[in-house]
Structure 1
Amino acid sequence: MMLRLRVNPAVWCSVPISHFTSLPLTPSILRPLLRRHNPRLFLTRFSASSAVHNTSLSSSSKPLSDADFLPFLSCSMPTYPLKVAVLLSGGVDSSVALRLLHAAGHSCTAFYLKIWFQEDFENFWSECPWDDDLKYAKAVCDQVDVPLEVVHLTEEYWRNVVSYIIEEYRCGRTPNPDVLCNTRIKFGAFMDAISNMEFDYVASGHYANVIHPSADQMDKPSVLELSKDMVKDQTYFLSHLSQNQLKRLLFPLGCIPKDEVRKLAAKFNLPNKDRKDSQGICFLGKIKFSEFVARHIGEDEGVILEAESGDFLGKHRGFWFYTIGQRQGLRLPGGPWYVVEKDIKNNVVFVSRNYFSFDKRRRVFRVGSLKWLSGFPPDQFTELQCKVRHGPSFYSCNLTMEHSEDGHEDVAVVHLSEDDQGLAAGQFAAFYKGRSCIGSGVILESWDDQGFPVCQKAIENAQMEDKSKLGKPIKIKVKPESGMKESKAKDDTEIHDKLRNEEATVVEQIREVSPDEAMATPSMKWLGSLKKKLLQIF
């Protein structure tokens, strides 16, 4: 069966994020998912005959008693039956979310989003895991007789996410595809595709919690809160949603830590219970990101200069292959070397071995394309918390609002409580008040006029029209072993101190807003794991 929906495709044209706002949805208490403008979409029923079967996946699950799943239903609205559209990827998280909603008594329909590439990447399709994803998704649905639909969103994904990513990298910025995918595709174009099916809510396997107002307070906004699992929490990736999108969402895993989700997968005897979590950018599959960038932006050889000396160290394939803080792919001896600045006009990448020195850290930056989840700016811009990347750590922060140079939008000047080394233009900064995520914006190029200090000689060499005059790359001297050990010891001390500060900050912030210590306190297990990984990197 195929259902074809057609409306005006011009609405979702590819525009800069600074000009992007979600199109408003008509409010409704009983049936929130109403029609709004969207491009042409296709929905296809995924029948048993079209599935790629594997007999080892078809084992039936042992029936569970109420005592097995009732403690895990608090984020699944179990009080009365609902009609729920469930985004199912074939992974463990979304599969457990589906089973919890089914256990809560809701009428569920599963949807798998196909966002594969256009013609120029056909040769990669055989390497991508979509067939396996669909096989697992179908097997999960078969266990509880839930229908599975396949939604084809290739064109929409290309126009609203991939093309934007390409343009941002071409301009030297580092976009976040996960935030864009949630805003524009999963809870944007997909909601449009099912707008006439009268679902009460759309659910997914995200680690976040949405607190909806009671029936007698429907004029109040829905609130996005941190999940119980502070390490897996994905509110950062959901921070740019609109209130109209948020009001329609359910996240059953928001009240459950990741290790319990794995245990539930085993109890449900899910066919994918032992499947590893997916990594990387969702639309790439097994394609290397560098191959994707090379295919769509190309290559343009440029020079690598040391920021402190201006020395010519080597060559690169194009500044768009590198982001601030990157250490992989430079292929320079005597490191580790880090990308610290980029000259977009002259296609020059500046690097340094002193990326983590105190005098080169930033705590003030600007954020544009602001979107507040309530639909309105917060009452106060002080005593907030901020995430500048996905992860369990927060900064305390204050915001100062000002108008952008073109006067078309507000810009927030963010003052962090401590320094951060890896601020990258194009990434998102998400803001929090206690446990509630209140909104986010895009980090702009201009911080407080204090980028990494590039010396005058490096600037002059970068501006040199004929780079052949630089001669051959210098022979890089390896740092003395004693100096390296001293530097590593200093870095280790800084990391230990930062971890202790992060633990204290997170616990203190959340204790202020919630008496539930089980929900608030980050375990020492993940702190130890985080410290171990950081020490391995540095």
Structure 2
Amino acid sequence: MAAATLSLLNIFSIKNPNNLKYFYSLSLLPLKGLHLSNNPRKFTSSVTISSTEPQISLNSTSVNEELESYISCSMPGKSRKVAVLLSGGVDSSVAPRLLHHAGHSCTAFYLKIWFQEDYENFWSACPWDEDLKYAEAVCNQIGVPLEVVHLTDEYWKNVVSYIIEEYRCGRTPNPDVLCNTRIKFGAFMDAISTLGFDYVASGHYARVIHSSSEANGTSRLELSGDMVKDQTYFLSHLSQGQLRQLLFPLGCIPKDEVRKLATKLELPNKERKDSQGICFLGKIKFSEFVARHIRELEGILLEAETGNFLGKHGILVLHHWYDTGPASIVAA
């Protein structure tokens, strides 16, 4: 475990830019106690799309010429059945247009992973209904079917409860890594496993290079074309079994170009801001959420070099904000 961790840190070290070319998936996080469904289909529910015909022309010469230069990460020339994860955001909404232009047959899926906590105004804090409306509008525009997959229980059991337990033990798990590994490309893949999809696609900024033998070859996770928005770190725990089923259409495109594409494609959400934070918390502070489930302890902050007293902290807040900060801050 230690060797694998050092290897991953070395790959992402700014001091070693030559090591940033690519890396293989590292399964550093064991999926202990992972809860998956034995009846995948029960999680899906159809969303009524107003028409199976696109509301706009998908054959515009100028638009198609524009898209042609952006589909290198969409496996062009190979017609496949692709399940596209749609969040209602701009990035995931551009993905199905690229995949369609590359010749694939797409079905969009919206993952419903919110859960109820008795915070005041909790539901308005995480606008999942607004996300779903945008997802529907995007699918209506291009004539792509949309289904909702209910993974609330899976999200709680495999992500939220794990985070709480890790904080209880004094460790700091990454919610995005867990969500990608256990939900988006874990429980979701399990839920659609009998539906005959060749690949699952999302709006992540990363690239997957598949070997010529799609059936049992090695798939390699590589850095995206945008080093600022790159999300390969959050995908680094995916297994070979997961990577072999993935497509990341935005992996070859810088973020600012994706925004421009959304405008040229006249997407309904082209002006929508990028989402920030953890959706299931909404406007609730992360430390407040964890403290709700774990008793908060008070500690002190000392300067490592001098031992000088710097102040006090709530131990949960310390884990969240200072874990990757300067080494000169020490908790006691």
1:275-306: CA deviations, max 9, x gaps? Answer: 11111124322322122122222323344445
C-alpha contact 2:114 2:279 (8 A) present in aligned 1: no
1:238 matches 2:235: yes
SS at structure 1 position matched to 2:69: helix
Matches within 5 A, 1:336-355: 340-342=329-331, 348=332
SS at structure 2 position matched to 1:159: helix
1:44 matches 2:45: yes
Matched residues in 1 for 2:48 and 2:191: separation? 19
How many angstroms does 1:83 deviate by? Answer: 0.8
Classify 1:47/1:302 alpha carbon distance in 2 versus 1 (closer, same or farther; 3 Å).
Answer: same
Higher Cα Rg, which structure:
1
Q: What's 1:322 paired with?
A: 318
SS at structure 2 position matched to 1:44: strand
Out of 289, 297, 301, the position equivalent to 1:300 is 297
How many angstroms does 1:315 deviate by? Answer: 3.4
1:265 matches 2:262: yes
Structure 2 unaligned spans of 5+: 1-27
How many angstroms does 1:199 deviate by? Answer: 0.4
Q: What's 2:128 paired with?
A: 130
Matched residues in 2 for 1:19 and 1:252: separation? 28
RMSD value over aligned CA atoms? 2.9
Q: What's 2:31 paired with?
A: 20
Give the letter for the 1:291 counterpart.
Answer: E
Give the letter for the 1:159 counterpart.
Answer: K
Give the letter for the 1:43 counterpart.
Answer: T
Matched residues in 2 for 1:163 and 1:252: separation? 32
Give the letter for the 1:68 counterpart.
Answer: E
Give the letter for the 2:48 counterpart.
Answer: S
1:67 matches 2:65: yes
C-alpha contact 1:326 1:339 (8 A) present in aligned 2: no
Query: Which structure has the highest strand share of the two?
Result: 1
Q: What's 1:288 paired with?
A: 285
Matches within 5 A, 1:247-262: 247-262=244-259
SS at structure 2 position matched to 1:162: helix
Question: Normalised by the size of structure 2, how large is the TM-score?
Answer: 0.80
C-alpha contact 1:73 1:252 (8 A) present in aligned 2: yes
How many angstroms does 1:117 deviate by? Answer: 1.8
Matches within 5 A, 1:98-177: 98-121=96-119, 123-177=121-175
SS at structure 2 position matched to 1:72: coil
SS at structure 1 position matched to 2:319: coil
Q: What's 1:424 paired with?
A: none
1:59-86: CA deviations, max 9, x gaps? Answer: 8578532312111111111213211100
SS at structure 2 position matched to 1:108: strand
Question: Normalised by the size of structure 1, how large is the TM-score?
Answer: 0.51
Classify 1:72/1:89 alpha carbon distance in 2 versus 1 (closer, same or farther; 3 Å).
Answer: same
Q: What's 1:189 paired with?
A: 187
Q: What's 2:204 paired with?
A: 206
Q: What's 2:276 paired with?
A: 279
- Which structure has the higher relative contact order (CA within 8 Å, separation 6+)? 2
C-alpha contact 1:75 1:209 (8 A) present in aligned 2: yes
Give the letter for the 2:172 counterpart.
Answer: T
1:413-444: CA deviations, max 9, x gaps? Answer: xxxxxxxxxxxxxxxxxxxxxxxxxxxxxxxx
How many angstroms does 1:135 deviate by? Answer: 1.1
How many angstroms does 1:39 deviate by? Answer: 5.4
1:32-55: CA deviations, max 9, x gaps? Answer: xxxx96356511112259xxxxxx
1:391-427: CA deviations, max 9, x gaps? Answer: xxxxxxxxxxxxxxxxxxxxxxxxxxxxxxxxxxxxx
Matched residues in 2 for 1:39 and 1:340: separation? 47
Matches within 5 A, 1:383-422: none
C-alpha contact 2:55 2:140 (8 A) present in aligned 1: no
Q: What's 1:370 paired with?
A: none
C-alpha contact 2:107 2:145 (8 A) present in aligned 1: yes
Matched residues in 1 for 2:243 and 2:188: separation? 14
Matched residues in 1 for 2:190 and 2:120: separation? 27
* Alignment: residue pair count: 297
C-alpha contact 2:202 2:248 (8 A) present in aligned 1: yes
1:83-120: CA deviations, max 9, x gaps? Answer: 11000000111000111112222111111111112344
Matched residues in 2 for 1:61 and 1:273: separation? 17
1:118-137: CA deviations, max 9, x gaps? Answer: 34457411221211111111
Q: What's 1:225 paired with?
A: 222
